[in-house]
Structure 1
């Protein structure tokens, strides 16, 4: 099963990066999503003082903003999960293979998630590397706080995975890719709203992030189960 999933994922990633100019487009967007956090973090830390505690708090906020870009990358791949198969007339071949619905679904999801996480690591490395190098941080507290750890290693990957699964599931039902983009718009709106809610709530950042992570975990399980159970091969073929 694992080999099959990786093979589907490899095909998806190869098809995505074969598109003309896509690497340059991704790189330019990455620069934009890096520059905004770098500029804001540098300006704010200069105003409030170069303490590591303040720096960690800023990272907690602006690295969540930077996560918008990996979501865009994931959507750029997953949005064509089944439309590309229809355009290339390969959907019948894919569905005729001895694969379960879960294997097909996970293969489509894996390509987008892995690519998005790679870009996330590159972006976070660039943001952290620049801000740490250019700002004289006073190390009065650890940089990797519990809140920041949960955000980087759990919440961001969970959001990327959730948006990808929703998009892939949606593309199996619709023939127009524009509708699938709504998933990412909604998720980005929710992320912005959650940032505001956390600021207004009298709850520690780590506690809030743990509650958010638990909610995301529940959504991931529900989305996966519904997506696999609702996978309709006949409708996919009928749309070709």
Structure 2
């Protein structure tokens, strides 16, 4: 069982197909077809990542192959027109490359992908040397964790800090990644905290937090019934 959070190093692919800056257009297409990938990192002689060539970088050559773009198109899509005339990886690549360090959390990697609108990220060390590659599907691997592992981590990493009383344990049930918490905790202010901590556990799809506060003392508050505290 892994502790939260997972990092990129846990899920990345370590064997990476990459290009030199002098790789030709046709060699790039052949490499993508052979390895069934849509983007390839471009490396220096020292294996540092200097850019990425994607299918989007290659398509302008076909798009503008038999057309003469008007003035508006030339002004608006100058970069694409330059790539339409490119013949090497160095001319085609998008630079600087969007990368991620191996010790980044999966959430950080997901945010970088979403912000940059890319499907995969080269993983680099502190000097920019390629260590691996992480894709969207790699980030989703955490949802393959079985329910028992998720429940055990929640009990040991979250619940034990919320309710250390073994006589009144918090119940943790997990089904298809959806966590249900039931029981009582000493302070209802901890209910949203509990939900947030559980949601942060890798592999959790959703949280149904049905925790309640302690039983009220009838002699102190006879007119105030217990009320469940819930957070989703």
- TM-score > 0.5, shorter chain as reference: no
Which one has a larger percent helix, Structure 1 or Structure 2?
1
Answer with 1 or 2: which has the greater Rg: 2
Q: TM-score, normalised by structure 1?
A: 0.23
Q: In proportion to residue count, which structure has more strand?
A: 2
Higher RCO, 1 or 2 (CA under 8 Å, sep at least 6)?
Answer: 1
What is the TM-score normalised by the length of structure 2? Answer: 0.23
